[in-house]
A and B are shown apart, each in its own frame.
Chain A
């Protein structure tokens, strides 16, 4: 599991994840992910290169979204692959963290 970030303007930070967000993947990125979430206002977590998502990975995303919300920020999930999106919807994550298809949709969620 790899994590990279890019500030793309308008106070938006894109966090790109790639690989398997399973138990090992979640343990690997948890601390860095939370550090970033607590510092930035608007976060788009790009899941397009995440090939596998398990519930411990969802826990990482939910913890991040909650920390962002408590910090008056917002977090969205960007372009998940089909099976990853199915897993997110199965756990009803889409009801608490918006899933968006592109950055334009993300900006609308952020109210920009």
Chain B
């Protein structure tokens, strides 16, 4: 039985990097949160951060081209999601094989000019920073790795 008393639990699943895969991944994380009886706010935070991270990969992460015997070709965009639960925190890790993008340093889209000048889009970065307690980025050999931490 998965409960808060467990010292350490981990789940991992691979998804396509397509926009159509986002809802399934978010639903999967939601079911983990439900099984763990996490508070609504924490379950929401994990889901909204995953939604924004995966949407960002799907819309902007175009996979890197790789060399092979048949010449240069682009790998399909892929995303691996893992949820690591310990007594004091939950870590949501999202790894992709897309272009380099350090979301921890990205600037949220400003809406300071009001409706006159606002351009819809780019709003997810502020959401991630608001709901995650910590956000860490690292470049990997094959792409990007983002860790969003939620303190318990």
| CB-based contact A56/B55 at 8 Å | yes
A45 is an interface residue with CB less than 8 A from chain B: no
Of B19, B44, B108, B114, the most chain A CB neighbours within 10 A belong to: B44
| CB-based contact B52/A95 at 8 Å | no
| CB-based contact B48/A59 at 8 Å | no
Chain A residues in 8 Å Cβ range of B130: 86-87, 89-90
B47 is an interface residue with CB less than 8 A from chain A: yes
Interface positions, chain A 16-46, Cβ under 8 Å from B, are 22-24
Give the total of A residues in contact with B, Cβ under 8 Å: 27
Q: Which of B22, B111, B112, B121 contacts A23 (CB 8 A)?
A: B22
Chain B residues in 8 Å Cβ range of A56: 55
A65 is an interface residue with CB less than 8 A from chain B: yes
Chain A residues in 8 Å Cβ range of B71: none
Smallest CB gap from A75: residue in B: B115
| CB-based contact A62/B118 at 8 Å | yes
Smallest CB gap from B130: residue in A: A90
A86 CB to nearest chain B CB (Å): 7
Q: How far is the CA of A15 from the CA of B30 in the complex (A)?
A: 28
> Top 7 nearest A-B pairs by Cβ distance?
A90-B130, A55-B124, A91-B123, A55-B123, A59-B120, A83-B44, A69-B115
Listed in ascending order, the chain A residues whose CB lies under 8 Å from chain B are: 22-24, 52-56, 58-59, 62-63, 65-66, 69, 82-83, 86-87, 89-93, 95-97
A-B contacts, 5 of them at CB < 8 A, read: A23-B23, A23-B51, A54-B55, A91-B108, A96-B111
Listed in ascending order, the chain B residues whose CB lies under 8 Å from chain A are: 19, 22-23, 26, 40-41, 44-45, 47-48, 51-52, 55, 108, 110-112, 114-116, 118, 120-124, 126-127, 129-131
